[in-house]
Chain A
Amino acid sequence: MDWIAGLLIPFVKALVLVVLLLTGFAYLSYVERKLVARFHVRYGPNRAGPFGLLQPIADGLKMLFKEEIIPRHADKLFYLMAPAIVVVPALLVWAVIPISNFSFRIFGYEITFYLTDLNIGLLYALAVAELGTYGIILGGWSSNNKYALLGALRTSSQMLSYSLPMGTALLSILAVVGSLSLVDIVNAQRGLWFIFLQPLGFLIYFITGLAETNRSPFDLPETENELVAGFVTEYGGIKFALFYMGEYISMMTTSALATTLFLGGWWGPFVDELPILGIFYFVLKMSAVVFLIIWVRASLPRVRFDQLMGFCWKFLLPLGLFNVMVTATVVALWG
């Protein structure tokens, strides 16, 4: 009965994960709107259902039933593919994120709270997340619109540039743990979270995470006030929603990775006695990072494109390399 363990269980787990993520996306948009509204002394959505809780569903239905408009001058194939290319990699990353070490048995099969424990998990996460850039570039290019093209060009250079400092932040973690498996990394944080061991690394990761997910203050690709809507200018209806889905899921991914890499994953008080608490801790920490990201959005102005690049290459990258060097030296001498 190997096919159950090898095929059925991962399939069901993947299905549950995707459903959870899509619901998560919908309610993350609700949470963000509500939170930002409070920062703005507004109420936010409060009409659909109690406290506006049905707003995401209303939004989703509206997006679904919108007229499908494809610009005549667009490159149809890529224009239609682009939103999918953005969403799929964002979902794929979650295959390796360990939510909890809690596991239970059904009919003798052990069910864990992660899809798979890849021994190159971190590398996989980085590589797949980067794929989303293709969707954005293709979307901007195939729209055949000057604003969209400029937006897409900005995105590509921004994402490529910011991957480097992000890599340096992760490199220092690797030096400490000595494994690319995310489960190993979390287990290594049982005693001390890496945010205390690598405060600089966390800072670099958080900043680059904002840039990688196109969040304020690095939301250059869709600078609404100069490029109208950047690469999504020519998109409408559900295709538009897919781009946003990609962005929000990336935001969740970034938060989940930050939790896994720096905030001790599922570890917290009493997890040893009651492992199921780990899920709660994971969600709590992830929400804290999400809140931080939204808070930044409500209070910081946006940087200019050249300043963004300068900040990355002239400041973050040297800082990250310095961090790696110090970590490596310390590990080599006393590790």
Chain B
Amino acid sequence: MNGSDTTADVLKARFPLAVEGVSTFRSDLVITLKREFLRDVARMLRDDPRLRYNLLLDLTAVDRLKLGITPRFATVYQLYSIPRNQAVRLIVPLPWDGETEMPVCPSVTDIWPTADWLEREVYDLIGIHFEGHPWLRRILMPENWVGHPLRKDYPLGGEPVNFSGDRDNPRFAHLGQQIMEGLSFPSELPPGVDPENHMVINLGPQHPATHGVLRVVAELAGEQIVSAHCDVGYLHSGFEKTGESKRYEKFIPYTDRMDYLSGMNNNLAYVLTVEKLLGVEVPLRAQYVRVILAELQRLGSHLFWLATHAHDVSGTIHSLLMYCLRDREMILDIFEMFCGGRVTVTGMCVGGLRQDIPPAFPEAVKVFLREFRKRFKEYDAMLTRNPIWVARSQGIGYLAPEEAIALGITGPMLRAAGIPLDLRKVQPYSSYDHFEFEVPTATESDCYARYLVRMREMEQSARIIEQAINRLPGGPFRTADRKVVLPPRPELDTSMEAVIHHFKLVTEGYKPPPGDVYGMAENPKGILGFYLVSDGSAIPYRLHIRGPSFVNLQALDTMARGHLLSDLITLIGSVDIVLGEVDR
């Protein structure tokens, strides 16, 4: 029996009144639920042995004001069952009379703890009150922000931008003084923190080990951590809002800037989602090149992680930092050769690649692989058996497998807990199934296990790249679908049809059919997910991003309790966060 049918049938049999509708669009199973049944259904979906949707991948909401659907707001739950490799999306419309400040939705934080931050994000950006949430407050926007930016009636623009160089403006006559009103407000302590008996120390937002602007409110008894609460959002730049006012293809450069260490992987996840929405087939050559680029980027990201993690944990051992960055430099050079960009690559486009690989590309990749393998052994030798390194990371930050799943952890952290969830293996995309590779796992689920998993992953990535570069097929590097990609330049001279396609694409862009899809890919840091809602125009109606760093970072508190302050730094490093993606 088909897996998706089972879910709907089991659900209907158990809660006949709960289901408002079942639909399938682009192979995504979508179930519309009544609000009052949400918690019961969620618990059953998680626990029923036939369903076992144990991983809440994503939680978001849609303001359907301009779609003309009532009720206006609906929350969206993307569930994934690790044992069954099945996904289902729940849509819960929230009846709202418009008289209260915001619609109300029951919280699922006690069913999936990962919903904590996700619900706060929805509350912050869309304005939905989650009943039963332990500490519902803004997470990405400043505390004193007015309104909810992702609502469709939120005013766009209209904010005057003050430039201090504008000397004609009488407002700036007093140059040299504070011109913008810098509001400061005392930060509220997270619940349960006891500042009377414990020392509360702020790590960040400016702190050398947080790799950006992360603030950790660490409650210490001596040097022992009682609790560690993360305060994020300092780097919030409204990617989702930007995405909802741009054409689909114009958002690709923005994805480079989310997790700026894995631009290619972000590109890949996004174009896969749009291709899924459009139903476009990508030629094999493009798929292979995408795999090469994505795996090179994974190596780059992991090398950067190794460099900074070793540096964070060990302080003055900058040597490894420099060695790893030297190798990453070679990867960036290859990217530069391919697309001109190094960090912000924008190497892929919907339907294939932006351009074909240059002739020197395969050789450069092979040279890199040779060098990398040689040096990688040295890095391995420097840390893996180093007694100080083992003492610093072994037994630190244990996360039980069930706990990890409940917290929505994905990527190397989940695999270090012994759960071999790797989308490249279980739901192969971009012809990952053509290559032989293993999914490294460990069972200790501590910082050392995460280190080992990532190190072994690098070896596997090198293996994949080698196979792909040796078996690189010929043929086109983009789809022939003229509705999606521009025709080649020579064709414009001979074909009127090509000119029309060109004109339509440049002036209007492609228009996917109405509907919603969830696309995801295995990023170096975990599963990166995109939720797209199309209203049939060339601009996404709703674009939601699930950043793996954001979700994984939630586990910090659970992992840190009882360890020492020094271990907190080890832990932040072992989560492998990029604040650009955490705050989006």
Contact = CB atoms under 8 A, between A and B. Distances in A.
Interface of A: 36, 39-42, 146-147, 150, 216-217, 219, 223-226, 228, 297-307
Task: Give the 10 A-B CB pairs with smallest separation, nearest first.
Answer: A301-B314, A40-B322, A225-B209, A302-B315, A216-B316, A302-B314, A304-B566, A225-B312, A301-B388, A226-B569
A42 B322 CA distance: 8
Contact of A224 (B223, B310, B315): B315
A316 B302 CA distance: 37
Given A41-B326, A146-B199, A217-B388, A299 B567 contact: no
Interface residues of B, number: 34
B155 to A, nearest CB: 41
B317 A301 contact: yes
Nearest to A149: B199
B88 to A, nearest CB: 42
Q: Identify the interface centre among A42, A217, A302: most chain B CB within 10 Å of its CB.
A: A302
Contacts of A304: 391-392, 564, 566-567
B319 interface: yes
B14 interface: no
Contacts of B565: 150, 226
Interface of B: 199, 201, 203, 207-209, 223, 310-319, 321-323, 326, 382-383, 386, 388-389, 391-392, 564-569
A301 B392 contact: yes
A247 to B, nearest CB: 13
A306 B313 CA distance: 14
Given A146-B199, A301-B388, A303-B391, A228 B564 contact: no
24 contacts: A36-B318, A39-B319, A40-B318, A40-B319, A40-B321, A40-B323, A41-B326, A150-B565, A216-B315, A217-B314, A226-B209, A228-B207, A297-B316, A299-B319, A300-B386, A301-B310, A301-B313, A301-B314, A302-B315, A303-B388, A304-B566, A304-B567, A305-B223, A305-B564
A305 B220 CA distance: 15
B221 to A, nearest CB: 13
A225 B389 contact: no
A266 to B, nearest CB: 32
Contacts of B392: 301-304, 307
Given A39-B319, A223-B315, A302-B314, A150 B569 contact: no
Contacts of A223: 315, 566
Given A40-B319, A41-B322, A225-B312, A301 B386 contact: yes
B316 A146 contact: no
Nearest to B207: A228
Contacts of B207: 228
Contact of B311 (A41, A216, A225): A225
Contacts of B323: 40-41
A226 B568 CA distance: 8
Contacts of B316: 216, 219, 297-298, 302
A301 B319 CA distance: 10
Given A150-B223, A304-B564, 7 more contacts: A219-B315, A226-B203, A226-B209, A298-B319, A300-B388, A304-B567, A307-B392
A227 to B, nearest CB: 8
B538 to A, nearest CB: 47
A246 to B, nearest CB: 18
Contacts of B319: 39-40, 298-299
Contacts of A216: 315-317
Contacts of A224: 208, 315
A39 B318 CA distance: 9
Nearest to A304: B566
A81 B230 CA distance: 37
A13 B566 CA distance: 45
Contacts of A40: 318-319, 321-323
B320 to A, nearest CB: 9
B317 A225 contact: no
A147 B209 CA distance: 14
Nearest to B388: A301
A143 to B, nearest CB: 14
Contacts of B386: 300-301
A302 B223 contact: no
Of listed B312, B316, B321, residue having the most chain A CB within 10 A? B316
A302 B311 contact: no
Contacts of A228: 207-208
A194 to B, nearest CB: 28
A1 to B, nearest CB: 53
Nearest to B563: A304
